[in-house]
Amino acid sequence: MTARVLIIAGSDSGGGAGIQADIKTVTMLGGHAMTAITAITAQNTLGVEGVHAIPTEMVVQQMRCVAEDIGVDAVKIGMLGSADTAMAVAEELISGVYGESFAFDPVMVATSGAMLADPKTVDAMELLANLSTVVTPNWPELAALRGCAAITADTVEAEAVAYAQKVEAAVLAKGGHGGGETVIDRLVTGHGTIALWEAPRIDTRSTHGTGCTLASAIATGLAQGMPLEPAVARARDFVRLALLDAPGLGQGHGPMGQQLVRNDGLFTGPALNQITLPAKDYAASVAFYKQMGLTQIVDSADNGYARFEAINGVTLSIHLSPSRLREGLGEGVSSTSSNRTSPPPTPPASGRGEEGPVTYLESGALDAWVAYLARRGVQFEQMPADEEWGWREARLSDPAGNRLCLYQAGEYRRYPPWRA
């Protein structure tokens, strides 16, 4: 059954954040999005020009209307706009018809656009947090919830744990406001950190809606029955891919590219999204697949390897067989590759002694999938292992001898560090 996600948040006329980002995220992750809109805004990438608050009674009526008919598997709570609406939403959620999976993004912004950190709002936020599975504050929001001047790298864990203890819910302290080249997101409970993710900061101005997207993605995972930690991990992958896929619209902080995150192995089941074919002439094969309309995204001519992306996000690679490289028969192979930020390692399939095609099936839960297959008698030539090109891979052959690779790559399939 399709996971049903109720989104309680404000509308963004520019489509970058709020309800619009939430709907795109839930839809791309396979859920059904329902909404209770708390405010209508006139805004674009440069800022907010006007706000019209929805009466609290109408917010609650929207919630109750969809819950009574369609049902709810998880709730994402975003901008509420006032302490009164926050309190009313919390009281409605207590009724029990909304399930028990709530992802709360504590957006402490009033309908006027001002930051809300008054005691009444903080109390309302605390009540909602008490009901939630996970609360997802950034550093300024965590500081407001904790009543401290600021959050730093030295204090973030202690403050997040203290807040988790207070509200008896998990807290995902988002690290985007931390500065530096590495973003650290920390998932904690009242007992301490249970998971920590580090990733390079993505250099883009199209960051509008990251918090909304993350919380909606987590809510969708919870609605689909995922445990919290894997739901957060997948949500982070989705956010990073949406940042990398951002279309660059507007003159300010533009929208992300949720609509372009597809075929990226974000689900537990296998996604057929990559095949590697042998080549005899590197330059000729590259030219052929470009002519076919594919976009070249990896140019590793010195390794005899190139990767291409189709318009639906599926990738195809070509590589010179090891024998062709050894014999020097790969016409068009040069010692350098163009437009790389860093030299790639030997790419997938190249240098493994493989001469034929390899089909790649991706899963967002590779180890669990392989363990499931192994328990049922599937024989593997290689169990899951981290490879130097950033993928985690397991290898096997089908009954006819065709080579298969089961793998997990996240953003590294379409956006490796050496992407052309």
The pLDDT, as a whole number, for residue 336 is 37
The pLDDT, as a whole number, for residue 333 is 46
* Long-range CB contacts (within 8 A, 24+) of 145-151: 145/106, 145/108, 147/122, 151/177
The pLDDT, as a whole number, for residue 341 is 47
The pLDDT, as a whole number, for residue 348 is 58
Note whether 239 and 406 are within 8 A (CB): no
pTM above 0.85, yes or no: yes
Beta-bridge partners for 403: 358, 397
Where are the extended beta strands (E) located within 13-126? 32-44, 47-53, 74-77, 102-104
H-helix or E-strand containing 253? none
SS3 218: helix
Residues serving a catalytic function are 174, 207, 209-212
- Interatomic CA distance for residues 350 and 388, integer angstroms: 12
Note whether 283 and 332 are within 8 A (CB): yes
Note whether 238 and 217 are within 8 A (CB): yes
Residue ranges for the chain with pLDDT beneath 50: 329-330, 332-341, 350-351, 353
DSSP 150: -
The pLDDT, as a whole number, for residue 273 is 96
Note whether 108 and 117 are within 8 A (CB): yes
The pLDDT, as a whole number, for residue 379 is 97
The pLDDT, as a whole number, for residue 232 is 98
- Interatomic CA distance for residues 133 and 406, integer angstroms: 32
Residue ranges and CATH numbers for the domains of the chain are 4-259 (3.40.1190.20), 271-412 (3.10.180.10)
Chain center to CA of 114? 29
Reported as a single tens digit per residue, the pLDDT across 194-207 is: 999 999 999 999 99
The pLDDT, as a whole number, for residue 112 is 55
Question: Which residue in 141, 130, 137 sits closest to 168, CA to CA?
Answer: 130
Reported as a single tens digit per residue, the pLDDT across 17-32 is: 999 999 999 999 999 9
